[in-house]
Amino acid sequence: YWGQNGGEGTLTSTCESGLYQIVNIAFLSQFGGGRRPQINLAGHCDPANNGCRTVSDGIRACQRRGIKVMLSIGGGAGSYSLSSVQDARSVADYIWNNFLGGRSSSRPLGDAVLDGVDFDIEHGGAYYDALARRLSEHNRGGKKVFLSAAPQCPFPDQSLNKALSTGLFDYVWVQFYNNPQCEFNSGNPSNFRNSWNKWTSSFNAKFYVGLPASPEAAGSGYVPPQQLINQVLPFVKRSPKYGGVMLWDRFNDLKTKYSSKIKPSV
Query: Which residues are annotated as catalytic?
Result: 122
Other beta carbons less than 10 A from residue 76's beta carbon: 11
Q: Minimal CA–CA distance to 22: which of 71, 55, 57, 56?
A: 71
- CA distances to 26, 97, 122, 232, 247 from 216, rounded to whole Å, are 18, 36, 20, 21, 13
Which residues lie below 8 Å from residue 82, measured CB to CB, with a gap of 6+? 32, 33, 88, 91, 124, 126, 127, 128, 130, 131
> At residue 185, what is the residue type?
N
Contact present, 73 and 80 (Cβ < 8 Å): yes
Q: Minimal CA–CA distance to 42: which of 52, 50, 53?
A: 52
* Torsion sign over Cα 250, 198, 132, 162: negative
